[in-house]
Amino acid sequence: MTKKLTRYLALALTVVFIVAASACGQTAPAATTTAAPATTAAAATTAAATTTAAATTEAAAATGGVQSDYEKHITISHMVLDAEKTGNTDRDRYLFEKFNITFDLIPVTWGDWFEKVRAMVAGDNIPDILWWDMKINNTAEYRGWATQGAFREITGTEKWPNLHELRYSLDSMEKMLEIDGKLYGWSISRNNPEWLQNAYYPLFAYRRDWAIELGMYKEGDMYTYEEIFAMIDAVKELDPGGNGPGNTFGMTSEAWAFPGVYMEILGYAKDRSSYIKESDGYVPYFTTTAWRQELKFVAEMYRNGYIWKDQMVVGGSEGLDNFKAGRALMYLGNNSPGWFSGQYASWLDAGTIKTNDDLAPLVPLSPVDNKTMTLVQTEDYWTVAHFAYDVDDEKYERIMDMWEWLATEEGRAHRIAGIEGQDYERISDTEIKILWEKDAEGSWLSPYRDTARSYCTPPAAVPGPNEGTNMAGYIAFEPIHQFMQTSPDYWVNPLNWELSTFNGEQFGQYGGFSSEQSDFVKRVLASSEDVDKLVDEWLAEMEPRWRPVADELNAELG
């Protein structure tokens, strides 16, 4: 049987996506709470473009022997990342045949995701599955959409035992996505180990081989900022990458990580929510001494040239591109073990590094005490999925059946590897053996390495590491993970659920003034004026705006 997979081509949008700090700090990526809803005209433009730009491709013949329990074929529209890399492999076709479905893939990128979501909701053009990187500080916006009838309620989860268990295992389902006891969104569990405390990994990746060549390497890859600055100075002077004078940079980063993440990992505060409760009540975190200290430290780094100067103006992957091209010592992003595992192969193929050991995670120790590692707790999920209000019962149950299967052991094996007998063989009820070959570094040579399938994301993340994991990244993190599990010098800024999901009118409208903070911080970094003077002037301007929000918090949350 041949299946048709309709793929909507991505739009060439000119919107620059500026990521703002979430209620507990800046995460990757987050949306501001102050952005206005998309206009009807914008929604219409997006809807028209996704229709007129649609391209249809014929999937290859389906893999043989796939039996479906479903007689009726249905089509499901689904928002996905990397649409151009999705839907053309044997394991994709296996799933399509098993559930007798076709996906209409609606493409999004990190740069246009939130704009498309808002345009779709405003224009009543929601796909069957609206999947997006919803952050906790989007709660008020989500609740507004849900109460206006944008989404179908998620009901009857008892019919799907794995999903039902997930439904009641996440704080986000109850505290964020339930409205008057009704569920209108499905949060995708991160499936993190408990010791991680749902922290994300805003750590640096760095050229360990350069540090060794310069005689500045520290075993364990944990450095004070003074040691980092000295290393950057040496890299610029001695040019181990052979880039020529002035062509080697110190720190680059993801666009969303600049400048907020540089600040939040410094460890100046043990509580880093958008508003902090002090003796006189709630005040914005940006009014605190800790925030001012963070800003002054990062301003000094930027003004002294330790952070790549052009990081101020770029909006895409330029920071990573420079790092991968061997023009920077270190790179800040959500650099998890999985990220490292995914990077090693391409770096080796390009000849940028000779072995995996040349590229490593780096922990910057807090300048407060030169010994503390600080991470930030994020939500207990990654991304949220909603059903459009007009999804009928048959389609709803087909999707839930598919999600339930993907959450089973059989579905886990499919997501990790692919097709039994072709990609893996089962050796026990809970364990499989991967059948792919490995490269010289011991990483799997997956036939699906350059493909994507984010339509499998909604049930939950697959716990890792697992049988299909390239372990290189986890091996690189072993000493850091040991430190995180055993040392009193590891600290996680906790997520304040009550504050972050507070639904007050003022708080919902203005939140933490995320975009204003980011714009102001960039202005300070680019200036040569005294930081304290600039901060004092800005705080005087901001107080009339944040005071009503603080008054509301004090009245409602005490």
Q: State the pLDDT confidence band at 65, using cuts at 50, 70 and 90.
A: low
Region 21-48 average pLDDT: 32
| Residue 188: burial class (beta carbons within 10 Å; 0-12, 13-18, 19+) | buried
Local structure of 185: helix, strand or coil? coil
SS (H, E, C) 339-386: HHHHHHHHHHHHCCCCCHHHEEEEEECCCCCCCCEEEEECCCEEEEEE
Local structure of 544: helix, strand or coil? helix
pLDDT > 50? residue 50: no
Worst-scoring range by mean pLDDT, 7-16, 80-89, 318-327?
7-16
Helical packing angle, 393-406 and 409-416, nearest 10°: 80
pLDDT > 80? residue 140: yes
Handedness of CA 211, 213, 216, 220 (dihedral sign): positive
Region 360-380 average pLDDT: 95
Q: Give 196-236 pLDDT, tens digit per residue.
A: 999 988 899 999 999 999 999 999 999 999 999 999 999 99
335 to 319, 375, 449: CA distances (angstroms): 13, 12, 19
Q: How far apart are the first and last CA of the chain?
A: 63
- Exposure string (b/e) for 207-231, b if CB count within 10 Å is 16 or more? bbbbbeebeebeeebbbbbebbbeb
pLDDT at 33: 26
Cα angle vertex 515, ends 80, 175, to 5°?
A: 60
**Can you read off the two tokens belonging to residue 350?**
């390009």
Nearest to 557 by CA among 512, 493, 509, 496: 496
Range with top average pLDDT, 108-112, 424-428, 508-512: 424-428
Q: Give 237-269 pLDDT, tens digit per residue.
A: 999 999 999 999 999 999 989 999 999 999 999
What does the alpha-carbon distance between residue 544 and residue 542 come to, in Å, rounded to a whole number? Answer: 6
What does the alpha-carbon distance between residue 376 and residue 491 come to, in Å, rounded to a whole number? Answer: 8
Residue with more model confidence, 42 or 444: 444
pLDDT at 111: 77
**Can you read off the two tokens belonging to residue 173?**
């389902």
Worst-scoring range by mean pLDDT, 399-408, 425-434, 502-511?
502-511
What does the alpha-carbon distance between residue 232 and residue 246 come to, in Å, rounded to a whole number? Answer: 12
Cα angle vertex 450, ends 446, 452, to 5°?
A: 100
pLDDT at 514: 87
> Which helix (H) or strand (E) is 536 found in, with range?
helix 531-557
Task: Identify whether the C-beta of residue 230 lies closer than 8 Å to the C-beta of residue 305.
Answer: no
Task: Identify whether the C-beta of residue 95 lies closer than 8 Å to the C-beta of residue 68.
Answer: no
pLDDT > 80? residue 492: yes
What does the alpha-carbon distance between residue 282 and residue 424 come to, in Å, rounded to a whole number? Answer: 55
What does the alpha-carbon distance between residue 99 and residue 401 come to, in Å, rounded to a whole number? Answer: 8
Whole-structure pTM value: 0.78
- Mean of the per-residue pLDDT values for the chain? 87
Q: Tokens 């997501």 map to which residue?
A: 415
**Can you read off the two tokens belonging to residue 493?**
């800024």
Q: Tokens 């680019």 map to which residue?
A: 526
pLDDT at 515: 87
Give DSSP secondary structure letters for 146-173.
Answer: HHTT-EE----GGGSHHHHHHHTT-HHI
pLDDT > 70? residue 383: yes
pLDDT at 536: 98
SS (H, E, C) 438-463: ECCCCCECCCCCCCECHHHCCCCCCC
Q: Give 276-286 pLDDT, tens digit per residue.
A: 999 889 999 99
What residues contact residue 74 under an 8 Å CB cut-off, 6+ apart? 100, 101, 102, 394, 395, 398
pLDDT at 64: 53
**Can you read off the two tokens belonging to residue 90?**
């044997």
